[in-house]
Structure 1
Amino acid sequence: MEIAGTRRAAASEARKAQIASATIAVLAERGYAETTFEAICAHAGLSSKRLITYHFSSKDQLLEAVVRQVVADAAAFMRPALEAAEGARAQLAAFIRANIAFIAAHPAHVRAVQQIAHNQAPVGGDEQDAATARLAALFADGQRTGAFREFDGPIMATALRAAIDAVADRVVNGLDPGRCADELVELFDRATRADG
């Protein structure tokens, strides 16, 4: 009985992931207004929008799943670079470079989140707060070790997140991601380092 329940749960999670991936693609291709359950069904090859409403009770709940999926995909993409970096300054540089590389490699993810944000959908706040808190913790650790000067960690984290978000559109539209990452690394290294 437990095996059947485990299989059903796995199948349900796989279907949710399929729907979230299709929603990312439709948001990126068609925009927020045209991201309907019908369009998502067509993209995902689903027979009925009831397959979506079975897993997501509202469009907002589906968009929350999309934001969670983008955050999870970004974290998985960035993790190796972050784990390889030693010391706060190297971790900061790795965070910036890996984040810009993710943006360049996953333009549909970026466009989907932009569509959600630009249409003021009430989702993503918890993920954004958690991302800012992780950056603030990196800054606090660097201050403890003497790598970073004294500054307000949450404000610096918000500024870094805003800088990356501000260049995302340009990277998606062809700005050299390496050049962009180099500029942001230099900017935030100068803004944070203890000897600067």
Structure 2
Amino acid sequence: MEIARTRRAAATEARRAQIASATIAVLAERGYAETTFEAICEHAGLSSKRLISYHFSTKEQLFEAVVGQVTADAAAFMRPRLDAATGARALLEAYIRANIAFVAAHPGHVRAIQQIVYNHVPVGGREHDAAIGRLVALFEDGQRAGTFRAFDGELMGTALRSAIDATADRVVNGHDADHCADELVEIFDRATRAEPS
């Protein structure tokens, strides 16, 4: 009985992930207005749009799953780079470079999120708040160690996330990712660095 329940749960998660991945692709290729359940079914090779509404009762729930999938993919991509960094300044640099590298490697993910944001779909708030919270913790650790100067960590985290999001648009549109990452690293290193005593 327990094995059957585990298999059903795994099959449900796999189907939800398949639908979310297809939605990312359709949003990126066709835009928000043309991301219909029919278009998602066609892209995913599903027999009926009822398979989507079975797993996601509203389009907002589906887009929340898309944000969750993009966040999970970004975290998996970035984790090795972040784990290799030692010290607050190195971690800040790794965070910026890993974000921009993810954007360059996954432009469809970025376009999908942009379509959701530009069309004012009220999803992704928890992921955004969690991202800012992780940056605040990084800044506070660096301030305690004397690596970073005193500043408002939440404001700096919001500025950094906003800068990365704005730069993502440039990278997706063909700007050199390494150059963009170099500039952001320089800007935020200067903004956060403690002056030598």
Q: What interval of TM-score do these two structures reach, taking the shorter chain for normalisation?
A: over 0.9
Q: Find the counterpart in structure 2 of residue 100 from structure 1.
A: 100
Shift in Å at residue 169 of structure 1? 1.1
Shift in Å at residue 173 of structure 1? 1.3
Give runs of aligned pairs for residues 69-148 of structure 1, distance below 5 A: 69-148=69-148
Cα deviation per residue 1:72-126 (whole Å; 9 max; x = unaligned)?
Answer: 1001100000000000000000000000000000000000000000000010111
What is the CA–CA distance in structure 2 between the aligned matches of 1:128 and 1:150, rounded to whole Å? Answer: 23
Q: Find the counterpart in structure 2 of residue 155 from structure 1.
A: 155
Q: Find the counterpart in structure 2 of residue 35 from structure 1.
A: 35
Shift in Å at residue 167 of structure 1? 1.0
What is the CA–CA distance in structure 1 between the aligned matches of 2:46 and 2:14, rounded to whole Å? Answer: 13
- What RMSD in Å do the two structures reach over aligned CA positions? 0.7
What is the CA–CA distance in structure 2 between the aligned matches of 1:169 and 1:96, rounded to whole Å? Answer: 15
Q: Does 1:46 align with 2:46?
A: yes
TM norm structure 1 = 0.99
Shift in Å at residue 8 of structure 1? 0.6
What is the CA–CA distance in structure 1 between the aligned matches of 2:65 and 2:124, rounded to whole Å? Answer: 9
Shift in Å at residue 174 of structure 1? 1.1
What is the CA–CA distance in structure 1 between the aligned matches of 2:60 and 2:25, rounded to whole Å? Answer: 17
Q: Find the counterpart in structure 1 of residue 177 from structure 2.
A: 177
Q: Find the counterpart in structure 2 of residue 194 from structure 1.
A: 194
Identity score, percent: 78
Shift in Å at residue 170 of structure 1? 0.9
Q: How many positions carry a matched residue from both structures? A: 196
- Unpaired stretches in structure 1, ≥5 consecutive residues: none
- Unpaired stretches in structure 2, ≥5 consecutive residues: none
What is the CA–CA distance in structure 1 between the aligned matches of 2:122 and 2:152, rounded to whole Å? Answer: 27
What is the CA–CA distance in structure 2 between the aligned matches of 1:102 and 1:44, rounded to whole Å? Answer: 24
What is the CA–CA distance in structure 1 between the aligned matches of 2:144 and 2:73, rounded to whole Å? Answer: 30
User: Which runs of 4 or more aligned residues in structure 1 lie more than 6 Å from their structure 2 counterparts after TM superposition?
Assistant: none
TM norm structure 2 = 0.98
Shift in Å at residue 145 of structure 1? 0.5
